[in-house]
């Protein structure tokens, strides 16, 4: 959530920056500022009211002491009127403060100054590319390969649950587990503390990281318990530090977690969503950092370098793209996507997003720290997929197919216990 002070100091800049995200903030900002003036006026009136009550209370004591009972009683009646006025103004203040909050949560995070303008993924900026992004002759797509080798069953998942919930079998299940362990071990070796989070969160947690109200319709909701099923481990892991004040020496906080992820996304048809390309349940290892504001962009570069190393070890052709304003998430200030090339589908598949949220999430969750001068400030939060498995698995199957079978990259062979799926 944007800090109200930011809107007070430079509302024009807020509107201008959010236009990069193709978000028209003018009316919301104007409404917030009008309410803000009314709130500050009410607070001044309440302060004046309280001062007058205190003065009258002191005067009443003196009047009674001096035997001026009638005058003291008139002052008591005046205090009663002031108290009623105070009650009405407090009720009005609460309504207006709630109205400001409801408007503030509608505003996305401000994009970093380097975010390119644009409306769709076609406007994203390619900043790095590595590997052979060419097709394989007579290559099978992964949805055909998994049937051929009997390692993932989409029809069985549809029977048990519904579309988007595949069943992994045999070497397919072992390869999935191998990827999870490889990603977790790599993160721990890079000084991330492993967390095993719950898969359900309350509304406070979903709100704190920005899923609510923005992505309410995309999350699975359990109404009986008022829980949301997590769309990513980012939500429970970041919320570990909700309502906390850290010491400057606590930085950096580096956490990683494996979880299943659940997303109720709008369905469509075609190869873009076929097979493993889009699922309602999928596995992912997430990395989260909580950082000093002056070091968060250095941390972002470190996270980009780390995710790069994972994909390189998997020997997959990939590219890094800086998201344009129109393709960025509600909460992000700057996001880089990692895409691997699918040699059978002949298309790029997103496998990771690495983002700096600056103080947007911290302001919602009251995640603060005391700096060297003892001043309480908002921390910065970052997160990244390291990595999301379905499309990584799809690319591994498609890009490593051969006449003998599907060859497992060397980095995974100690985890799988086999070198080939045949």
Concatenated DSSP letters for 255-298? Answer: EEEEEEEE--PPP--SGGGSTTSS-SEEEEEEEEEEE-GGGHHH
Task: Please report the DSSP string for 89-116 in residue order.
Answer: HHHHHHHHHHHHHHHHTTSPPPPPTTPP
Q: 148 - beta bridge partners? A: none
Start-end of H helices in 164-280: 170-189, 203-208, 234-238
> So what's the pLDDT on residue 271?
59
Q: Pick the range with the lowest mean pLDDT from 223-237, 267-281, 335-349, 379-393.
A: 267-281
- Given a cut of 50, whether residue 39 has pLDDT beyond it is yes
158-168 mean pLDDT: 96
Under CATH, which architecture does the 121-421 domain have? 2-Layer Sandwich (3.30)
- Checking if the pLDDT of 141 tops 50, the result is yes
Can you give the pLDDT at residue 266? Answer: 52
Whether 320 and 338 have beta carbons less than 8 Å apart is answered as yes
Among the ranges given (72-76, 257-261, 304-308), the one the predictor scored with the smallest mean pLDDT: 72-76
Contact between 348 and 45 (Cβ < 8 Å):
no
Q: What is the pLDDT of residues 395-407, one digit of tens each?
A: 999 999 999 999 9
Break the chain down into helix, strand, coil percent, rounded to 5. Answer: 50, 20, 30
Higher local confidence (pLDDT), 71 or 264? 264
Residue 58 has pLDDT above 50, yes or no: yes
The mean per-residue pLDDT over the stretch 103-117 comes to 97
Residue 163 pLDDT > 50: yes
Per-residue pLDDT, averaged over 299-317, amounts to 98
Find out whether 174 and 420 touch, Cβ atoms under 8 Å.
no
What's the predicted TM-score (pTM) here?
Answer: 0.92
> What angle is formed at CA 19 by the lines to CA 16 and CA 24, rounded to 5 degrees?
105
Q: How confident is the model at residue 382 (pLDDT cuts 50, 70, 90)?
A: very high
Helix 142-149 and helix 170-189, axial crossing angle in degrees, nearest 10: 120
Measured CA to CA, the distance from residue 8 to residue 343 in angstroms comes to 51
Q: Where are the domains of the chain?
A: 4-104, 121-421
SS (H, E, C) 329-383: CCCCCEEEEEEEEECCCCEEEEEEEEEEEECHHHHHHCCEEECCCCCEEECEEEE
Angle at 42 between CA 38 and CA 47, to 5 degrees: 150
The answer to whether 239 and 177 have CB atoms below 8 angstroms apart is: no
8 A C-beta contact, residue 25 and residue 15:
yes
Tell me, which fold does domain 4-104 have in CATH?
A: Helix Hairpins (1.10.287)
Q: Which residues contact 70 (CB under 8 A, 6 or more apart)?
A: none
Q: How confident is the model at residue 74 (pLDDT cuts 50, 70, 90)?
A: confident
State how far the Cα of 192 lies from the Cα of 228, in Å rounded to an integer. Answer: 26
User: Is residue 335 within 8 Å of residue 353, measured between CB atoms?
Assistant: yes
pLDDT confidence band for 385 (50 / 70 / 90): very high
Q: Which two tokens stand for residue 365?
A: 């969750």
Q: Are strands 227-229 and 221-222 parallel, antiparallel or unpaired?
A: antiparallel
Q: Which of 32-36, 42-46, 52-56, 287-291 has the lowest mean pLDDT?
A: 52-56
List Cβ neighbours of 292 (8 Å cut-off, separation of 6 or more).
248, 251, 252, 369, 379, 380
**pLDDT-derived band at 268, boundaries 50, 70, 90:** very low
Mean of per-residue pLDDT scores for the chain: 95
> Which residues sit opposite 321 in a β-bridge?
126, 337
The answer to whether the CB of 385 falls within 8 A of the CB of 25 is no
Euclidean distance between the first and final Cα of the chain, in Å?
A: 51
- Mean pLDDT, residues 64-76: 79
Residues in a beta bridge with 291: 380
Cα separation, 190 vs 205, whole angstroms: 27
* Residue 166 phi, psi (nearest 5): -70, 160
Mean pLDDT of 244-254: 96
366: pLDDT strictly greater than 70: yes
């Amino acid at each position: 959530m944007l800090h109200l002070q930011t809107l007070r100091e430079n509302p024009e800049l807020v509107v201008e920056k959010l236009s990069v995200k193709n978000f028209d903030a003018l009316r919301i900002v104007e409404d917030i500022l009008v309410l803000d003036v009314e709130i500050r006026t009410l607070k001044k009136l309440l302060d004046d009211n309280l001062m007058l009550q205190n003065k009258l209370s002191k005067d009443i004591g003196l009047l009674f002491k001096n035997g001026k009972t009638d005058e003291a009683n008139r002052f008591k009646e005046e205090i009663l009127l002031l108290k009623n006025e105070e009650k009405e103004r407090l009720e009005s203040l609460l309504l207006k403060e709630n109205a400001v909050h409801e408007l503030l949560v509608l505003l996305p995070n401000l994009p970093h100054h380097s975010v390119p303008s644009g409306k769709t993924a076609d406007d994203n900026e390619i900043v790095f590319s590595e590997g052979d992004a060419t097709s394989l002759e007579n290559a099978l797509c992964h949805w055909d390969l998994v049937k051929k080798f009997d390692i993932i069953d989409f029809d069985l998942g549809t029977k048990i649950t519904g579309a988007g919930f595949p069943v992994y079998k045999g070497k397919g299940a072992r390869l999935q587990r191998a990827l999870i362990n490889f990603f977790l071990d790599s993160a721990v070796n890079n000084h991330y503390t492993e967390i095993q989070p719950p898969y359900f969160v309350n509304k406070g947690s979903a709100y704190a990281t920005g899923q609510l109200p923005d992505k309410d319709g995309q999350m699975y909701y359990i109404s009986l318990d008022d829980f949301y099923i997590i769309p990513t481990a980012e939500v429970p892991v970041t919320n570990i530090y909700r309502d906390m004040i850290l010491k400057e020496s606590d930085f950096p906080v580096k956490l990683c977690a494996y979880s299943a992820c659940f997303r109720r996304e709008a369905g469509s048809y075609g190869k873009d969503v076929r097979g493993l390309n889009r699922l309602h349940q999928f596995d992912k290892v997430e990395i989260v950092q909580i950082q000093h504001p002056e070091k968060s962009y250095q941390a972002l570069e470190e996270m980009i370098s780390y995710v790069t190393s994972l994909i390189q070890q998997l020997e997959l052709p990939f590219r890094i793209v800086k998201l344009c304003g129109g393709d960025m998430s509600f909460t992000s200030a700057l996001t880089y996507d990692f895409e691997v090339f699918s040699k059978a589908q002949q298309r790029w598949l997103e496998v990771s997003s690495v983002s700096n949220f600056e103080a947007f999430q911290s302001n919602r969750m009251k995640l603060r720290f005391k700096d060297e001068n003892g001043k309480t400030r908002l921390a910065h939060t970052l997160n990244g997929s390291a990595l999301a498995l379905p499309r990584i698995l799809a690319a591994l199957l498609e890009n490593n197919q051969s006449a003998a079978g599907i060859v497992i990259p060397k980095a995974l062979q100690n985890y799988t216990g086999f070198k080939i799926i045949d």
